[in-house]
Structure 1
């Protein structure tokens, strides 16, 4: 049976930060938010997205090295290279499969949102 993962940071809506199902952890989309505030700029937001993602994975008992797939949502595809620069710092051991799409709008008017699937 799926098991919700709790963290100390509240979600923006009625959902779990992550859900464990079998040996997989499905992490909800993470924004570049710290202490309720959105970071300035796409690189700072990307860094916080990934730091938040790392924290949720750790709460679920896994780690960044176990991520098998990420989905990256960008407000502007012109930021692709900037996002990749920061993203590469977090995935040094093995690089997960990934999709990156441009979207019309994200919660809190964020510039980037990242979710992931990881093994336990």
Structure 2
């Protein structure tokens, strides 16, 4: 009986936070590369939309909120530093940070969707 209980608890363990952050970071880098390849630097709303979709989808899937916050912050910095400005400049002029706030909002919506889905699965 003890062996069965240990196997059940091992199956319930979640992914370590570091692994979730690494996977999310790879997703956000891929989204940034795709946005840079598809849209010109003048098309910031389109680049923002692609980053928002990636951040929201990641937040809707991953249960670890620490990983979601870390990946969202890194995605916002990547957007401002490399998609809105050049060469990683996070202090340049323009409204890049106002676009980055939309990325955080998309991640919040994704986490809210995941939370509502978990409530619905518990009540069923």
Asked if TM exceeds 0.5, the reply is no
TM-score normalised according to structure 1 size: 0.39
Which structure has greater helix proportion? Answer: 2
Name the larger-Rg structure: 2
